């Protein structure tokens, strides 16, 4: 395991332990509950950051040379609708618009790797909320909001750093 992975997990543990301790420190919350919330959030964040960083490195390395053309996103979205006459007409309109603009959009591509962190961020966000609900963390929103925000920020910053290598 490389030092970057371990360091990211340790930094995450320290930061989120401290944040959760502060977020749940209050005269009406027992110190044991505050400490438990801080330990749960810190340990969860440390391990998830370690795993998240490992997965992100693998995904970025796999897809860093892939591209997605924006011209083909709409047909993918439309293919799941039912076959009513209205939906067929809408789909045909989209197809006509896409065919008309394909020459323009054909050269407008974005790196497929930019989509790589979206699923891990969603999974992490769901898990951090679930873990803290199960733990009955007193100030749930204040405890998990930074975790979700900084996970997304970290994912894209780390991904860009990996791409610069």
Residue 100 sits at the vertex; the CA angle it makes with 99 and 101, to the nearest 5 degrees, is 95
pLDDT at 139: 86
Instruction: Look up residue 131 and give its two tokens.
Output: 């873990």
pTM for this one?
A: 0.60
- The rounded average pLDDT for each run of 10 residues, N- to C-terminus, in the chain (165 residues) is 84 93 90 93 90 80 64 54 70 70 57 74 89 90 89 86 77
pLDDT at 22: 93
Q: For the chain, what's the residue count?
A: 165
pLDDT at 5: 83
Task: Tell which phi-psi region holds residue 136, choosing left (phi > 0), alpha (psi between -120 and 50) or beta.
Answer: left
pLDDT at 92: 75
pLDDT at 123: 84
pLDDT at 8: 87
Reduced 3-state DSSP string for the chain: CCHHHHHHHHHHHHHHHHHHHHHCCCCCCCHHHHHHHHHHHHHHHHHHHHHHHHHHHHHHHHHCCCEEEHHHHHHHHHCCCCCCHHHHHHHHHHHHHHHHHHHHHCCCEEEHHHHCCHHHHHHHHHHHHHHHHHCCCCCHHHHHHHHHHHHHHHHHHHHHHHHHC
């Amino acid at each position: 395991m490389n030092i970057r992975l371990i360091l990211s997990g340790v930094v995450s543990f320290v930061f989120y332990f401290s944040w959760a301790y502060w977020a749940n420190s209050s005269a009406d919350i027992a110190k044991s509950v505050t400490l438990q919330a801080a330990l749960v959030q810190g340990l969860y964040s440390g391990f998830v950051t370690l795993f998240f960083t490992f997965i992100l490195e693998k995904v970025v390395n796999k897809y860093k040379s892939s591209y997605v053309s924006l011209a083909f996103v709409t047909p993918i979205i439309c293919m799941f609708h039912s076959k009513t006459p209205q939906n067929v007409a809408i789909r045909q309109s989209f197809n006509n618009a896409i065919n008309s603009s394909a020459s323009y959009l054909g050269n407008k591509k974005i790196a497929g790797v930019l989509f790589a962190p979206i699923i891990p961020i969603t999974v992490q966000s769901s898990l951090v909320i679930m873990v803290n609900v199960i733990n009955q963390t007193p100030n749930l929103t204040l405890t998990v909001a930074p975790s979700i925000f900084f996970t997304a920020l970290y994912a894209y910053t780390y991904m860009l750093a990996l791409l610069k290598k």
